Structure 1
Amino acid sequence: MTFAFGPALLFCPADRPDRYRKALDRADAVILDLEDAVAPDARPAARAALAANPLDPARVIVRVNETGSADQAEDLAAVRAAAYRTVMIPKADARLDDAALADLDVIALCETAAGVLDARALAERPGVVALMWGAEDLVASLGGSASRDRAGAYRDVARHARSTVLLAAGAAGAAAIDTVHLDIADLDGLAAEAEDAAAVGFAATACIHPSHVDVIRRAYAPSDVEVADARRIVDAAREHGGVFRLDGRMVDGPVIRHAESVLRRAAPRVE
């Protein structure tokens, strides 16, 4: 299973087909949302819009409604009718219906207490290519009212969920997607969170506004200095092998793998 998207995934309401193409043109992939972004009475028209306004399936994710809802079966039928291959399952947990999703690639959105605790098992389910986490529904599932403190930083439970989902995805060989930054105007805060996401191994960050796309792309793209340093490490490793000293620092297996990760993120620039 491979995750072919990223690093900037832009949500778009599925009942706004006039925005589909614009969203896809701005981002690395678009998440057409049939869940929170669409009122229940607008969902039939939104489903019809999927097939009536085709996009490149390789760059489209469709967020359907949660497992056990009355809407999910109709959502999945609309996804298949539109020839899309990747779905995001909100509020994912152990109830995930493998049979209903058998021919699709799945991004499991761990955004409830049950979902975060089930993250490792979800990452190992058939067809699951990625995990994403969500802060607001998580806190709501706990009976809370705010995922961030007054300074704007995530509270401990949100940070724990983020790390849990990242570790679960990594352990199972799946990708991890960082959650959206809800403060649209806070580009500095978004940049800091996206830079951290890239540094610790997230494959992508989701966003809710086109202005966030370039911020995320810049955060995931290593600097010229980082690329040059990584290239020197990888080249030296080919020459020396094992543990060696480079510019006064010890280089061993983990350091080499870090450098290789930098080069993978910079692949379009160094190939």
Structure 2
Amino acid sequence: MTFGMGPALLFCPADRPDRFEKAAERADAVILDLEDGVDPAARADAREALRASSLAPERTIVRVNPADTADFAHDLDAVRATGYRTLMLAKTERADQVERLAGFRVVALCETAKGIMVAERLAQMSLVVALMWGAEDLVASLGGSGSRRPDGRYRDVAAHARARVLLAAGSAGKAAIDAVHLDIDDRTGLEVEVEDAAASGFAATACIHPSQVPVIRDGYRPTPAQIADATALLDAAAGHTGAFRYDGRMVDTPVLRHAEHVVRRAHAG
């Protein structure tokens, strides 16, 4: 996977240049948002603030408005005046929309029913470096009223979309980014989701508040016990060919790959 950002990606409204540097200092990468995070009346100002900004391009993503909107062309004009070359395309639904972003690295944001249904096709495109999914816009596109159950768990349709985007990205060797957790005060809920995201194979999780960054980082970072267990297992495998018994369980290639991923995440952190 060539995404190279993460695990904590912090959204920052592009009309708040006073927050740009702070966001960059606190997160692994910043998503400067020209779409939902900005009032439509303030988008022209947001684009000017984007042009004047100077964050590190390798740690900056710009979310642009959907390709079929009037704002899209204006957003691209603003981005082209900067050094930023990784774009997040809001409400990606078709391959031809991505093709309009030639010259950029694209994070395809699948957050509508149409977007989820073409995730596999989008992941195969050379411009696309990662897929992300969004729960609230997805449910809105279906005519629903909420992505979560009363206990905070995702409804089945949202969980299905999440899994489909992860599988689509993985099938193409691309990174998958997990959706934001909107309840800023729900640290426990975020911890559970991040642990599941890291264990399932997501490369990063997006967030909307700086307080969520350390929770995400901790969730993607293996514990010392996990690192020790994975290292010991890989050391034991050095003396074996094929499947073998270790610590009361059968170890084969998939189990070794799990251990390798744990060690890799530890080194990345």
CA distance in structure 1 between the aligned counterparts of 2:185 and 2:80, rounded to whole angstroms: 36
1:152-172 Cα offsets, whole Å, 9 max, x none, are 111100000000100111111
1:163 corresponding residue in structure 2 = 163
Q: Distance in 2 between matches of 1:253 and 1:232?
A: 15
SS of the counterpart of 1:245? strand
Deviates more, 1:220-229 or 1:42-51: 42-51
Other-structure match for 1:126: 126
Q: How many residues align?
A: 269
Q: TM-score of the superposition, structure 2-length normalised?
A: 0.97
CA distance in 1, matches of 2:152, 2:248: 39
| Cα separation, 2, equivalents of 1:245 and 1:99 | 50
Which position in structure 1 is the counterpart of 2:237? 237
**Normalised by the size of structure 1, how large is the TM-score?**
0.96
Aligned partners of 1:241 and 1:34: how far apart in 2? 53
- Give yes or no for the alignment of 1:65 onto 2:47: no
Give the superposition deviation at 1:95.
5.0
Tell me, what secondary structure is at the counterpart of 2:143?
coil
Distance 2:255 2:99 in 1: 41
1:149 CA drift (Å): 1.2
- Map of 2:107 onto structure 1: 107
Taking the TM superposition and a 5 Å limit, the aligned residue runs for 1:174-193 are: 174-193=174-193
Deviation at 1:190, TM superposition (A): 0.3
Q: Secondary structure at the match of 1:5?
A: coil
* Deviation larger for 213-222 or 240-249: 240-249
State which drifts further: 187-196 or 37-46: 37-46
Across the aligned residues of Structure 1 and Structure 2, the Cα RMSD in angstroms comes to: 1.2
The unaligned stretches of length 5 or more in structure 2 are none
How far apart, in 2, do the equivalents of 1:196 and 1:141 lie?
26
Task: Name the CA shift for 1:89/1:98 in 2 (closer, same or farther; >3 Å).
Answer: closer
Report whether the alignment pairs 1:252 with 2:265.
no
Residue 46 (structure 1) aligned with residue 34 (structure 2): no
Report the identity percentage.
64
Partner of 1:15: 15
SS of aligned partner of 1:126: coil
Superposition deviation, residue 151 in structure 1: 1.3
Amino acid at match of 1:47: R
1:62 maps to a residue whose letter is: V
Contact 2:13–2:38 (Cα < 8 Å) also in 1? yes
Query: Residues 27 and 261 of structure 1: is their aligned pair in 2 closer, same or farther, counting only changes over 3 Å?
Result: same
Return closer, same or farther for 1:79/1:238 CA change in 2, 3 Å cut-off: farther
Match of 2:33 in 1: 33
